[in-house]
Amino acid sequence: MIAAVDTTPTPAPRPSLGMIDLLLRDREAMLARIRQGADLAAIMRTMIATIAVTMAIVGAALGSYRGGVQIAYAAAKLPLVLLGTAALSAPALSAIGAALGRRSRLTADLALVMSALAFGALLLVACTPLIMLGRSVELDYHRMILAVVAMFAASGGAALRMIWRGVELEAAPGWRTAVVGLCVVFSLVGGQLSWALRPYLLRPRAPEPMFIRDVEDSLFDSIAGSMRSARGIYVRDAAPLGEPAP
């Protein structure tokens, strides 16, 4: 009986789970796989699924600060932001690199970007208990925002480091410019897409949210408007005015 148990083969982990484990434990090996072009389609599938699931969890956690339908809205929108930004921005890495003589392959670059983002998304999902902790101790809205920004910044930094390392290993001409170009494009597109699909984190007393707002000014127009307002220059007809002094 004991012998029968001992000889039973251990079931091999599912390839997708093994890949996520590899991403978490040994990113150099993961980068080597991508560089060799081994099984890129499977890597892409796994990473896209990882981003979709983990960002939905993070979105749901953020939405839980307001509660109700916002949980579902944020869970649906956050994966769209990351996957959409990656799809729009990743070709810039290949194109800028190729323009400067780097032997880039669009599929391998896309797999690299998706793997790095999946790594960042996994780190973010590991922070979800902290978001829930903030909710449970009723951390005030602004502190919650700052905490979430810090989590996203740390995860984004880790993802960027992986992309940097992956391209650096090729030692191809123009690789630094290609990575910097990707970062610029990713920041602009990611900022605008997340702005267009906002909000994710809402005050508990906020009115019933909408899923998507109408197309309006861009994030950058809004920042420019805020800077003008800070200098006392208002372009709206009904700019909010302070109470006159007694």
Provide the binding-site residues for other proteins, judged by CB under 8 A: 88-89, 91-96, 98-101, 103-105, 173-174, 177, 181, 185, 188-189, 192-193, 196, 215-218, 220-221
What's the closest the beta carbon of residue 23 comes to other proteins, in angstroms?
Answer: 25
What's the closest the beta carbon of residue 162 comes to other proteins, in angstroms?
Answer: 20
Tell me, what amino acid is at 174? G
What's the closest the beta carbon of residue 186 comes to other proteins, in angstroms?
Answer: 9
> What are the tokens at 137?
């101790």
> What are the tokens at 99?
């323009």
Distance CA 72, CA 208 (A): 13
Cα-atom radius of gyration of the chain, to the nearest Å?
22
Kindly tell me which of 50 and 89 has the beta carbon lying closer to other proteins: 89
The answer to whether residues 179 and 94 touch, using CB atoms and an 8 Å cutoff, is: no
What's the closest the beta carbon of residue 150 comes to other proteins, in angstroms?
Answer: 27
Using alpha carbons, list the distances in angstroms from residue 65 to 7, 110, 122, 145.
50, 33, 21, 11
What's the closest the beta carbon of residue 224 comes to other proteins, in angstroms?
Answer: 8
The answer to whether residues 130 and 147 touch, using CB atoms and an 8 Å cutoff, is: yes
Report, in this order, helix, strand and coil percent for the chain, each rounded to 5. Answer: 70, 0, 30
Kindly tell me which of 136 and 187 has the beta carbon lying closer to other proteins: 187
Instruction: Provide the residue count of the chain.
Output: 246
What's the closest the beta carbon of residue 29 comes to other proteins, in angstroms?
Answer: 25
Contacts of 164 (CB under 8 A, 6+ apart): 179
Kindly tell me which of 68 and 174 has the beta carbon lying closer to other proteins: 174
Kindly tell me which of 105 and 161 has the beta carbon lying closer to other proteins: 105
**68 DSSP 8-state letter:** T
Kindly tell me which of 101 and 204 has the beta carbon lying closer to other proteins: 101
Kindly tell me which of 143 and 213 has the beta carbon lying closer to other proteins: 213
> What are the tokens at 125?
């999902």
